[in-house]
Amino acid sequence: MEEGEQQWKGVKSAIEDPEEARVIYCALDSFVQYARIAHFNCTHLRRQSFYALPEAHWKMLAAPPFNYLDTLDKVDNAIESNAELARAIVRVGLVNFQPQDVTQGSEPTIPPRWRGCAKRLDIDKARSTLRQFYRDWSAEGKSEREICFGPVFRALEAQKESRPRDASPMRVLVPGAGLGRLVFELCAKGYVAEGNEISYHQLLASSYILNCVEKPGQHTIYPWIHTFSNHSTRDNHLRKYAIPDVHCANELTRLEEEGVAIGEMSMTAADFLCLYTEDYQAEAWDAVACVFFLDTAPNLIRYLETILYCLKPGGLLINHGPLLWHFENNAPGGHGHDDDDGDYDTTGIADPGSFELSDDEVMALVTKVGFEIVSRETGIESPYLLDQESMLQTVYKASSWVARKPHTTA
């Protein structure tokens, strides 16, 4: 594999569009602001509340076995460890998108017009993205990944067995690719995998972890530090994880040297509904793998029609996930942004109109749109960023199913 052969594609050109530039720099600035906001919310405000207690009370809590002030110091250190990853994402993002802006020392520099542009929602997304590295790129997150990736791998292997031995590698599209772990795993298994993602927080982070880390375990993250609730022990509250658990380029090289036929991987930064209804996408994919994705649709019909359009005849739609309808309390368009001024694009996912279905109604809609159901399983326990030691356990009972595009249409 030549250097850079497996890198994400299709991101850098977006900076040429003024609106895209604003979105990108808001994402970058939110990673810059992560540490300051996290320190303020997690420890500064708590120190104020702590010293507002009666003196006898705060002195009791400051002493063993509680050592509450020591805990706050440890949380501050953990925030700084998370922030090292955030700053690395920013540094690489600036180099990729606007090289001339990285000129003042070794630390990332946001252009003056964009400094401080990130708003609360942007910073929330940055914090969420940093936490998601636990699920996608730590060894401890493997159990969560196996639950939702497993159905995808099994369906693809079954499909591959029915194909001629000399057939070209299957092309698999992964909409809502997030931090790119599924795309990487598909590539390592020999598929031509393309991830699609609309969030620049996810795109920036996935580009960094796939292309720029130097070794496994380069960063240490603390995913549970942002809340003080429901911790069974303080040690668990402060639990750390090394990421990534694998160096992508080295792993693909190792597989090649062992004679494994690896595939290809790429990434598109675009609205799924807009890009994959282009003429050149018609019947271009052997499978579309949707993991925790279909419930991001305000209009599921549009999603299903787009997938049907871009699948080859006989191609598979593989789904695994819950039905946490993302737009249930948030109409499409402005998407509930706190800076919504009513002046926004209304194409693709931002088209007006939304609805929410039950799981059995989703299955009826899948067939109504034109798919044939191949298999279905419900009630699969699927944790998502679950702290296994927490006193609060939230686990989805996911629906997992495979549908096929008919070889002929009526």
Residue 248 pLDDT: 96
- How many CB atoms sit inside 10 A of residue 109's CB? 17
pLDDT tier for residue 165 given thresholds of 50, 70 and 90: confident
What is the pLDDT confidence band of residue 98, given thresholds at 50, 70 and 90?
low
Report the Cα 131 to chain-centroid distance in Å: 10
Q: Is the pLDDT of residue 318 over 90?
A: yes
User: Is pLDDT larger for residue 110 or for residue 347?
Assistant: 110
- Give residue 3's identity as a one-letter amino acid code: E
What single string gives the DSSP state of each residue in 98-149?
-GGG--SSSS----GGGTT---HHHHHHHHHHHHHHHHHHSGGGHHHHHHHH
Please report which confidence band the pLDDT of residue 16 belongs to, taking 50, 70 and 90 as the band edges: low
Across the chain, what does the average pLDDT equal? 91
According to DSSP, the residues that pair with 376 across neighbouring strands are: 401
User: What is the helix (H) or strand (E) element at residue 275, kind and residue range?
Assistant: helix 272-275
pLDDT at position 409 over 70: no
Structure tokens at 284: 């271009």
Residue whose C-alpha is closest to residue 286's, from 352, 379, 190 = 190
For residues 400 and 321, give the distance between their C-alpha atoms in angstroms, rounded to a whole number. Answer: 7
Span 179-227, pLDDT tens digits: 999 999 999 999 999 999 999 999 999 999 999 999 999 999 999 999 9
CA distance 187 to 190: 5
pLDDT grade, residue 337 (50/70/90)? very low
- Give all strands of the β-sheet with 285-291 in edge-to-edge order: 264-269, 192-197, 171-175, 285-291, 311-321, 395-404, 372-383
Helix or strand (DSSP H, E) at 187: helix 181-188
Query: Both tokens of residue 82?
Result: 């998370």
pLDDT at 103 over 70: no
Angle, CA of 91, 122 and 180, to the nearest 5°: 60
Classify 190 in phi/psi space as left (phi over 0), alpha (psi -120 to 50) or beta: left
pLDDT above 60 (res 339): no
Residue 396, strand partner residues:
382
Mean of pLDDT values over 115-140:
97
Specify the CATH number of the domain 11-329+348-405. Answer: 3.40.50.150
* pTM summary value: 0.91
pLDDT tens per residue, range 46-90: 999 999 999 999 999 999 999 999 999 999 999 999 999 999 999
One-letter amino acid for residue 269 of the chain: A
Q: What is the pLDDT of residue 10?
A: 40
For the chain, the domains span 11-329+348-405
What pLDDT was estimated at residue 102? Answer: 45
Unique residue bearing structure tokens 């609805």: 355
Q: How confident is the model at residue 107 (pLDDT cuts 50, 70, 90)?
A: low
Query: For residues 122 and 118, what is the distance between their CA atoms, to the nearest angstrom?
Result: 6
CB 382 within 8 A of CB 320: yes
Residues 6+ apart with CB under 8 A from 388: none
- SS3 call for 244: coil
Q: Give the chain's end-to-end CA distance (angstroms, integer).
A: 44
Q: For 18-51, what is each residue's pLDDT tens digit?
A: 788 889 999 999 999 999 999 999 999 999 999 9
- Nearest CA to 31 out of 80, 89, 79 is that of 89
One DSSP character per residue, 293-349 reads: -GGG-SSHHHHHHHHHHHEEEEEEEEEEE----TTTTS-TTTTT-TT--S----SGG
Q: From 291, 278, 288, 294, select the one nearest 314 (Cα to Cα).
A: 288
